[in-house]
Amino acid sequence: MTTSPRRFTSSQHPRSDQPWPATPLQPFANARLLLAENAIPGDTTSAVVASHVLECFLSRQRYISAKENGPGVDTGDFTYSGTICRATRLPPHPGAIWLSSTLSWQQNGRRVASGASTVVAPCEGLIWLGNLSLLNPSGAADVDPYAQHTAFVVLEFGADYGSGGIGALVQPLIGERVFGTLKPNRVV
Protein backbone atom coordinates (compact mmCIF):
# COMPACT_ATOMS: atom_id res chain seq x y z
CA MET A 1 0.00 0.00 0.00
CA THR A 2 1.28 3.45 -0.86
CA THR A 3 1.29 6.11 1.80
CA SER A 4 -0.72 9.15 0.84
CA PRO A 5 1.00 12.53 1.26
CA ARG A 6 -2.23 13.69 2.92
CA ARG A 7 -1.42 11.52 5.92
CA PHE A 8 1.45 13.81 6.95
CA THR A 9 -0.11 17.24 7.01
CA SER A 10 -1.35 18.33 10.41
CA SER A 11 0.25 15.80 12.74
CA GLN A 12 3.82 16.71 11.76
CA HIS A 13 3.23 20.41 12.06
CA PRO A 14 6.08 21.96 14.09
CA ARG A 15 3.63 23.20 16.72
CA SER A 16 1.83 19.84 17.08
CA ASP A 17 3.42 19.10 20.46
CA GLN A 18 2.20 22.33 22.08
CA PRO A 19 -1.43 22.68 23.18
CA TRP A 20 -3.30 25.55 21.59
CA PRO A 21 -5.31 27.92 23.81
CA ALA A 22 -9.09 28.17 23.52
CA THR A 23 -10.04 30.21 20.47
CA PRO A 24 -11.86 33.53 20.88
CA LEU A 25 -14.59 32.16 18.59
CA GLN A 26 -15.52 29.28 20.96
CA PRO A 27 -18.41 31.23 22.59
CA PHE A 28 -19.85 31.71 19.09
CA ALA A 29 -19.56 28.08 17.93
CA ASN A 30 -22.75 27.05 16.16
CA ALA A 31 -22.05 23.63 14.67
CA ARG A 32 -20.75 20.17 15.42
CA LEU A 33 -19.33 18.02 12.67
CA LEU A 34 -18.99 14.25 12.94
CA LEU A 35 -16.44 13.23 10.32
CA ALA A 36 -15.05 9.86 9.27
CA GLU A 37 -11.29 9.28 9.21
CA ASN A 38 -10.75 6.70 6.46
CA ALA A 39 -8.09 3.98 6.28
CA ILE A 40 -6.92 5.46 2.98
CA PRO A 41 -6.76 9.25 3.49
CA GLY A 42 -9.03 11.08 1.07
CA ASP A 43 -10.78 7.88 -0.08
CA THR A 44 -14.27 8.12 1.38
CA THR A 45 -15.06 4.56 0.29
CA SER A 46 -12.32 2.97 2.44
CA ALA A 47 -12.93 1.65 5.96
CA VAL A 48 -13.57 4.14 8.76
CA VAL A 49 -10.79 3.92 11.37
CA ALA A 50 -11.93 6.75 13.65
CA SER A 51 -14.53 9.47 14.01
CA HIS A 52 -13.67 13.10 14.61
CA VAL A 53 -15.98 15.61 16.25
CA LEU A 54 -15.24 19.23 15.45
CA GLU A 55 -17.06 22.06 17.16
CA CYS A 56 -16.94 25.00 14.77
CA PHE A 57 -17.98 28.54 14.12
CA LEU A 58 -19.42 28.36 10.59
CA SER A 59 -21.14 30.79 8.26
CA ARG A 60 -23.05 30.02 5.11
CA GLN A 61 -21.32 31.15 1.95
CA ARG A 62 -23.58 30.32 -0.99
CA TYR A 63 -26.28 28.14 -2.50
CA ILE A 64 -25.16 25.74 -5.23
CA SER A 65 -27.19 25.84 -8.43
CA ALA A 66 -27.12 23.35 -11.31
CA LYS A 67 -24.40 25.30 -13.14
CA GLU A 68 -22.06 25.26 -10.10
CA ASN A 69 -22.27 21.63 -8.98
CA GLY A 70 -19.31 19.28 -9.18
CA PRO A 71 -17.36 16.74 -7.09
CA GLY A 72 -18.60 16.92 -3.49
CA VAL A 73 -20.97 19.78 -4.32
CA ASP A 74 -24.47 19.00 -5.58
CA THR A 75 -27.35 21.18 -6.75
CA GLY A 76 -29.23 22.35 -3.66
CA ASP A 77 -26.22 22.23 -1.32
CA PHE A 78 -25.00 25.19 0.72
CA THR A 79 -21.31 25.89 1.16
CA TYR A 80 -20.09 26.76 4.65
CA SER A 81 -16.80 28.17 5.83
CA GLY A 82 -15.44 28.81 9.29
CA THR A 83 -12.96 27.76 11.94
CA ILE A 84 -12.53 24.80 14.26
CA CYS A 85 -12.97 25.82 17.90
CA ARG A 86 -12.24 22.45 19.52
CA ALA A 87 -12.00 18.81 18.53
CA THR A 88 -11.90 15.24 19.76
CA ARG A 89 -11.23 11.82 18.23
CA LEU A 90 -13.65 8.94 18.90
CA PRO A 91 -13.91 5.31 17.82
CA PRO A 92 -15.65 4.63 14.48
CA HIS A 93 -19.45 4.96 14.55
CA PRO A 94 -19.76 6.56 18.03
CA GLY A 95 -23.55 6.82 18.15
CA ALA A 96 -25.17 9.86 19.78
CA ILE A 97 -22.19 10.67 22.04
CA TRP A 98 -20.91 13.20 19.47
CA LEU A 99 -23.82 15.50 20.38
CA SER A 100 -23.44 15.09 24.13
CA SER A 101 -23.02 18.25 26.19
CA THR A 102 -20.51 16.34 28.33
CA LEU A 103 -18.23 15.30 25.46
CA SER A 104 -14.58 15.41 26.49
CA TRP A 105 -12.54 17.63 24.16
CA GLN A 106 -8.92 16.73 23.36
CA GLN A 107 -7.71 19.81 21.53
CA ASN A 108 -8.52 23.44 20.79
CA GLY A 109 -8.51 25.02 17.37
CA ARG A 110 -7.59 22.13 15.06
CA ARG A 111 -8.11 18.48 14.17
CA VAL A 112 -6.79 15.82 16.54
CA ALA A 113 -3.88 13.80 15.14
CA SER A 114 -3.05 10.33 16.35
CA GLY A 115 0.42 9.22 15.35
CA ALA A 116 0.88 10.38 11.79
CA SER A 117 -2.80 10.47 10.85
CA THR A 118 -5.85 12.65 11.20
CA VAL A 119 -9.06 13.22 9.28
CA VAL A 120 -8.27 14.78 5.88
CA ALA A 121 -10.32 16.31 3.08
CA PRO A 122 -12.34 15.19 1.38
CA CYS A 123 -14.24 13.51 4.17
CA GLU A 124 -17.90 12.84 4.81
CA GLY A 125 -20.09 12.92 7.86
CA LEU A 126 -22.84 14.80 9.62
CA ILE A 127 -23.48 18.34 10.76
CA TRP A 128 -25.63 19.56 13.62
CA LEU A 129 -26.03 23.30 13.06
CA GLY A 130 -27.90 24.97 15.87
CA ASN A 131 -27.80 26.32 19.42
CA LEU A 132 -25.05 24.24 21.07
CA SER A 133 -26.10 25.41 24.55
CA LEU A 134 -29.25 23.27 24.16
CA LEU A 135 -27.34 20.00 23.81
CA ASN A 136 -27.84 17.54 26.66
CA PRO A 137 -25.74 14.69 28.14
CA SER A 138 -27.63 12.00 26.19
CA GLY A 139 -26.77 13.59 22.83
CA ALA A 140 -30.34 13.93 21.58
CA ALA A 141 -30.40 15.67 18.18
CA ASP A 142 -33.96 16.97 18.55
CA VAL A 143 -33.29 19.42 21.41
CA ASP A 144 -33.34 22.45 19.08
CA PRO A 145 -36.36 22.56 16.76
CA TYR A 146 -34.51 25.01 14.50
CA ALA A 147 -31.27 23.03 14.19
CA GLN A 148 -30.22 21.39 10.94
CA HIS A 149 -29.05 17.78 11.29
CA THR A 150 -27.95 16.49 7.92
CA ALA A 151 -25.04 15.28 5.79
CA PHE A 152 -21.88 17.37 5.46
CA VAL A 153 -18.79 16.98 3.27
CA VAL A 154 -15.52 18.75 4.13
CA LEU A 155 -13.75 19.81 0.97
CA GLU A 156 -10.79 21.60 2.52
CA PHE A 157 -8.99 22.11 5.82
CA GLY A 158 -6.48 24.89 6.48
CA ALA A 159 -7.61 27.38 3.83
CA ASP A 160 -6.81 30.32 3.33
CA TYR A 161 -3.25 29.90 4.55
CA GLY A 162 -2.56 26.22 5.20
CA SER A 163 -0.64 25.06 8.28
CA GLY A 164 2.70 26.67 7.43
CA GLY A 165 3.91 30.21 6.89
CA ILE A 166 1.36 32.77 8.02
CA GLY A 167 -1.02 29.89 8.80
CA ALA A 168 1.33 28.85 11.61
CA LEU A 169 0.74 32.29 13.14
CA VAL A 170 -2.97 32.71 12.42
CA GLN A 171 -4.37 29.24 13.11
CA PRO A 172 -3.33 29.01 16.79
CA LEU A 173 -5.10 32.35 17.35
CA ILE A 174 -8.45 31.73 15.65
CA GLY A 175 -8.43 28.02 14.76
CA GLU A 176 -7.90 25.92 11.69
CA ARG A 177 -10.11 26.85 8.76
CA VAL A 178 -12.71 24.41 7.42
CA PHE A 179 -14.73 24.60 4.20
CA GLY A 180 -17.49 22.22 3.16
CA THR A 181 -21.00 21.63 1.95
CA LEU A 182 -24.18 21.14 3.92
CA LYS A 183 -26.47 18.72 2.09
CA PRO A 184 -30.03 19.57 3.17
CA ASN A 185 -31.62 17.03 0.84
CA ARG A 186 -30.06 13.98 2.55
CA VAL A 187 -31.90 11.82 5.05
CA VAL A 188 -29.97 11.26 8.29
pTM of the model: 0.87
**CA–CA separation, 154 vs 35, rounded Å?**
8
- When mean pLDDT is compared across 21-30, 69-78, 178-187, the lowest value belongs to 69-78
What is the pLDDT averaged over residues 125-150? 96
- Residue 17: its pLDDT value, please? 57
pLDDT digits (tens, 9 = 90+) for 148-164: 999 999 999 987 777 78
- Residue 31: its pLDDT value, please? 98
pLDDT at 104 over 90: yes
CB of 33 within 8 A of CB of 152?
yes
pLDDT at 10 over 50: no
- Residue 6: its pLDDT value, please? 47
**E strands along 26-176, which residues?**
31-38, 48-63, 78-90, 107-108, 123-129, 148-157
Give 146's contacts (C-beta < 8 A, 6+ positions apart). Answer: 130, 131
- Residue 159: its pLDDT value, please? 75
DSSP per-residue string spanning 36-73: EEESSTT-TTSPEEEEEEEEEEEEEEEE--TTT-BTTB
